[in-house]
Amino acid sequence: MKKIYIASAISALIFASCKPSVNITTPPSAGNTDLRNYLAIGANMTAGYADSSLYVSSQFASIPKRLYDRFTLVTGVTGAKTSFIQPYLKTDNGFNYASDLTRVPKKVLSWVRHCNGDSSLSPIYYPGGYNLSDADYFTSPGANGQVNNIGVPGMRVADLPVAGYSSTLNMYAKRFFVGSSTTPMDELSYRVRNLEPTFFTLWLGFEDVLGFALAGGQGDGSMNAAVATGTTNYYNTNDITPATVFKTQYEAAVQVAISRGSQGILINLPDIERLPFFTALPIKGLYIPRQTLADSLTAMYAGYRYTFSLGYNNYIVKTHTGVLRQAVDGELLLMSCPIDSILCAGWGSTRPIPQEYVITTEELQNIRSATVIYNNFIRDMALRYNLPLSDMNTFMRTMSSSVVFNGITYNAQYLSGGSFSLDGVHPNPRGNALIANNIIGTINNFYKSSIPLMDANNYAGVLFP
């Protein structure tokens, strides 16, 4: 036996000296671009908004931060040099305003007991509450007040020319905009002059459609909306931004972004209808377990000639104009619709689901055409200004059906899909990393660079209690 041990000790020694290793060294390069100084321009996705709020770790997981981390791997003169400063909040509690303008923290997952006694995993406000210090003005620790990520959650292309935007209209803008009476376009212009970026990402336009969708299509979706009463150039957040306004302001933003010779990339709009917020609750969700119930509903809606049958039926809803009707296939029920009202208050069956929770076929058409018109324009801008276009519309379409990455299959199923945060609209850190990888792919292709991708699975996905 002793012999065996000696033999194994010797061979272990020999083996340790020839343990295999694999090193693949493709030196990252910036190719034809220059990553020294990166400025991220945009709104929700840029700022790192997730779980219905902005909070410190969501900002650390933002898409621009992910991109910057990769840019730093590029060595040499065109690699990332300066630090990447984001206007961080102070806590991880999250800070936002609910629709009724009460202050709220971020959302977290929890077991929620419903009115009918069932429980389900649902998002609730973070039990620790919000922290008022998160509304404090952000003072950059960098030289010259440097801020690299100027993404403002909720900011639309339509908001770019609105004077005083940061003082009253957007608390996130208020946290770091330099002037309170100036416009977001002025702020952009100031940041470009201040930072002299060599590279930028510009992801704007999503919020110009999103507000209409989140409000259940309760605004003007015709793309001919009028300015809000009492204002000269402000559009209600529930409206879809008129195409003329969008085009003028978007092009102006691109011109400002490149005004100091910066290169960069434009990112287009994903399809809103594929986001979990709009798919989590099926419109055909009215479950009728007994024929007598079906019969009594059919009798109740005899005047409308709706018939109900055993199993799943389309909900009874109110349309945009307040007319009661049964929903048709393809219409969308928003995740914001209170489940308890459906379960116990007869919403969708004996009473219609209010219009602010439903996107009807017409409203869906508004959303689709706006997305197409905006995206066509963004593509034109990319061509005109010789910038690459990150086709996020196509990528997030793939991501919503399935993207396989190192053994994980991601899709846009709420919670189980793994890539979206609890608000169902914005990606979680893993989704951000998948998106950042796709953007890097486009950058590498266009600028002949070789910026390495990241292991998306190394970041947080949906966290279950």
Partner 1 sequence: MNKSILAALCLFSAATCQAGVHKLYVQGIRQLAMGGTGTAWQWDASTIYSNPAGLARLKNLQAYGSVSHIYQADAYGNSLTSESSQAQVLRPINVYFGGTVKKDGNLGLGIGVYSPYSQAIQWDDNWTGRYLVQSYQMSTLFIQPTVAYKFCDEVSVGAGFVIATGVFDYRYALPVQNATGQDAKAQLHSNASGVGFNLGVQVKVSDRVQLGATYRSQVNMEMGGGSANFTVPNTLKPLYPNTRFDGLMPMPQVFSLGVGFKPLNNEKLTMQFDLNYTGWNSYDSLRLNFAQHTTSIEDLHSPRKYRNTLSTHLGANYKVGKVLSLMAGAAYEPTPVTDGYVAPDMPDADRVMFSCGASVHPLHRFTILAALQYNTSMKRRAATYNFANFNGTYLSQTFTPGIGLYYNF
Positions in the binding site for partner 1 (CB under 8 A): 3-4, 7-8, 10-12, 14-16, 18-24, 26, 109, 111, 121, 404-408, 416, 418, 452-455, 457-458, 460-465
Q: Which two tokens stand for residue 373?
A: 């018109």
CA 264 from chain centre, in angstroms, equals 20
Which residue's CB is nearer to partner 1, number 158 or number 462?
462
Q: Nearest-CA neighbor of 207 among 236, 229, 166, 183? A: 236
- Structure tokens given for 376: 């066509």
Query: Shortest gap between Cβ of 453 and partner 1 (angstroms)?
Result: 7
Q: What is the largest CA-CA distance in the chain?
A: 95
Phi/psi at 317 (nearest 5 deg)?
Answer: -130, 175
Min CB(419)–partner 1 separation in Å: 11
**Smallest gap, in angstroms, from Cβ of residue 434 to partner 1?**
11
- The strand pairing partners of 206, in sequence order, are none
Neighbours of 27 (CB within 10 A): 10
**Dist. CA 342–CA 152, nearest whole Å:** 35
Q: Is 213 exposed, middle or buried (0-12, 13-18, 19+ CB in 10 A)?
A: buried
For the beta carbon of residue 1, count every other beta carbon within 10 angstroms: 5
Strands 358-359 and 332-333, bridge-based pairing: antiparallel
Least Cβ distance, residue 90 to partner 1 (angstroms): 22
Under 8 Å between Cβ of 200 and 84: no
Query: Among residues 264 and 418, whose Cβ is nearest to partner 1?
Result: 418
Q: How many CB atoms lie under 10 A from the CB of residue 252?
A: 16
Minimum distance, C-beta of residue 426 to partner 1, in the bound complex (Å) = 18
Residues 329 and 314 sit within 8 Å (Cβ to Cβ): yes
- Tokens 């003329």 belong to 244
Q: How many whole angstroms separate alpha carbon 52 and alpha carbon 68? A: 24
**Contact (CB, 8 A) for 434 and 403:** yes
CB of residue 23 vs partner 1: minimum separation in angstroms?
5
How far apart, in whole angstroms, are the C-alpha atoms of residue 67 and residue 44?
16
Residue with Cβ nearer partner 1 (308 or 459): 459
Between 117 and 407, name the residue whose CB sits nearer to partner 1. Answer: 407
Distance CA 464, CA 108 (A): 9
**Residue 404: CB minimum distance to partner 1, A:** 4
Output the smallest distance, CB 415 to partner 1, in A.
Answer: 9
The distance of closest approach from Cβ of residue 36 to partner 1 in the complex, given in angstroms and rounded to an integer, is 22
Q: How far is the CB of 262 from partner 1 (least distance, A)?
A: 27
Closest distance between partner 1 and the C-beta of residue 20, in Å?
Answer: 4
Tell me how far, at minimum, the Cβ of 418 lies from partner 1, in Å: 6
Pick 173 or 462: Cβ nearer partner 1: 462
Strand, coil or helix: what is 71?
A: helix
Are 226 and 64 in contact by the 8 Å Cβ rule? The answer is no
From the CB of residue 21, how many other CB atoms can be counted at a distance below 10 Å? 5
User: Is the CB of 202 or the CB of 440 nearer to partner 1?
Assistant: 440
The 10 Å Cβ neighbour count of residue 176 is 22
Nearer to partner 1, 266 or 451 (CB): 451
Nearer to partner 1 among residue 101 and residue 404 (C-beta)? 404
Judged by beta carbon, residue 326 or residue 444, the one nearer partner 1 is 444
Nearer to partner 1, 211 or 461 (CB): 461
Which amino acid is present at 106?
K
Torsion of CA 166, 168, 169, 175, to 10 degrees: 40
Closer residue to partner 1, CB minimum distance, 156 or 430: 430
Residue number, 252 or 453, with CB nearest to partner 1: 453
